[in-house]
Amino acid sequence: MAEREFDVVVFGATGFTGRLVAEYLAAEHGAISWAMAGRSQSKLAEVRDLIGAPANTPLIIADSADTASLDAMAARTRAVITTVGPYQLYGEPLVKACIAAGTDYVDLCGEPAWMHDIIADHDAAARESGARIVLSCGFDSIPFDLGVYHLQQAAIARTGAPISRVKGRVRKMKGTFSGGTAASFAETMKRAGKQPEIIGWLKDPFSLVPGFDGPKQPSGAKVIFEDDLNSWAAPFVMASINTKNVHRSNALLGHRWGEDFVYDEMFLTGPGEQGEGFANMIANDKSMSENPPKPGEGPSKEERETGFYDIMFTGLTKDGERMTASVSGQKDPGYGSTSRMIAEAGLCLAFDVDRKTTPGGVYTTAPAMGEALIERLQKHAGLTFAIEE
């Protein structure tokens, strides 16, 4: 890897999120060797100038429909950061190219059916080649996957045992989901219509853990009042993908949190009638399916800058004491923070995690990068990880 021309390449740099990733790298990590990749030389040059990247920033022509171009791109870099989705339409050729070249790969995938296929079809080849294929490196699912990891590491250090039942609860959030997330959801539903078994994968919290059938998990599908938290809780739209990634992390870590581990996610709305009303409003929101944002569209810079999120992870230790960790982030979660998270994930693989610690394979973020990525996110990306009690 040391002789590779680039540390990272941003594939999809002319798209809305890809442009934000490139802009972040240019501003925050000017000393690294990186390149922008996409289908159009002129559009790449236009974006390069628009974001203020150096005029000599290399531009690579690559297209998901042209495997030779993907092979050539993957061979030139230590890691590829891809924002080109929906991944079930455009992702697999790049995964194959990275595996063939032994190149690391990070994406923003929130498409469990496609992820199920990638694990089944490519994990063995990635292990053999040494390529680390790390899925879901944006708001789904880094804050949640690493939030659980952070809490469990602290619980094990404090009590010698993990917490067997963890609640992931969004306490506050301001921002929007991306057009890419909406498009991915639509493609997943379209595929499910042709391939009915996908419905089972979407419902199964362990569908990304081949050969393992864990304990029954809470559905998180209905508004409830949580006495222990003194708050109403509403369904959280991203829980379906996040919980699957968290369970895969547990499995890849050798079931460090136990084979009986139970985890769910919901959105806290507060106590009383106001909290109940807000929870019901969230539960009845159909905007993701009925009026989704379009791919390539996104919030203004001001909206991205003023966004934020605050998520808690809580449970009882083996001694019956409550422990709570939190992950908070600056900027809009679906764009501003996501673009920073995936950039740092790519750099973390390129610079911080050796192949003895993390050999090849298809990963989630916690087992692939763990503390190294937490450190990067806190230093550069505006995230804060804390143990509150």
Residue labelled with tokens 């079931």? 255
Contact of 329 with 304, CB cutoff 8 Å:
no
| pLDDT number for residue 229 | 97
At 177 the pLDDT is 65
Supply the pLDDT for residue 293: 66
Mean pLDDT computed over 287-312: 79
Q: Return the SS3 of 73.
A: helix
* DSSP string for residues in 13-35: TTSHHHHHHHHHHHHH-TTS-EE
Beta bridge partners of 11: 37, 82
| Helices marked H in the chain | 16-28, 41-50, 67-75, 87-90, 92-101, 112-129, 142-159, 179-194, 197-203, 239-252, 272-283, 287-290, 301-306, 338-351, 365-380
Q: Edge to edge, what strands does the sheet with 383-387 contain? A: 224-226, 231-235, 262-270, 165-174, 308-316, 322-330, 383-387
Q: What whole-number percentage of the chain has pLDDT above 90?
A: 84
Distance separating alpha carbons of residues 143 and 383, to the nearest angstrom? 9
CA 210/CA 222 separation, integer angstroms: 28
Phi, psi (rounded to 5 degrees) for 367: -70, -25
Is the pLDDT at 47 greater than 90? The verdict is yes
Lowest mean pLDDT among 175-184, 259-268, 338-347, 369-378: 175-184
How many helices (DSSP H) and strands (DSSP E) are in the chain?
A: 15, 14
How confident is the model at residue 291, as a pLDDT?
Answer: 65
Please choose, from the candidates 263, 262, 212, the residue with its C-alpha nearest in 3D space to the C-alpha of residue 239. 263
Q: What is the pLDDT of residue 319?
A: 93
Q: Give the burial class of 218: count Cβ atoms within 10 A of its Cβ; 0-12 exposed, 13-18 middle, 19 or more buried.
A: middle
Instruction: Specify the residue for token string 């078994």.
Output: 197
Kindly state the average pLDDT of the residues 341-356: 97
How far is residue 303 from each of residues 26, 179, 265, 326, 383, measured CA to CA in Å? 21, 15, 25, 23, 18
- Cα distance between residue 235 and residue 169, in whole Å: 10
Q: Is the pTM of this model over 0.85?
A: yes
pLDDT per residue as tens digits for the range 163-181: 999 999 999 999 876 666 7
Q: Span 310-330, mean pLDDT?
A: 97
pLDDT given at position 275:
97
Q: How far apart are CA 6 and CA 22, in angstroms?
A: 14
What's the whole-number mean pLDDT along residues 184-206? 83
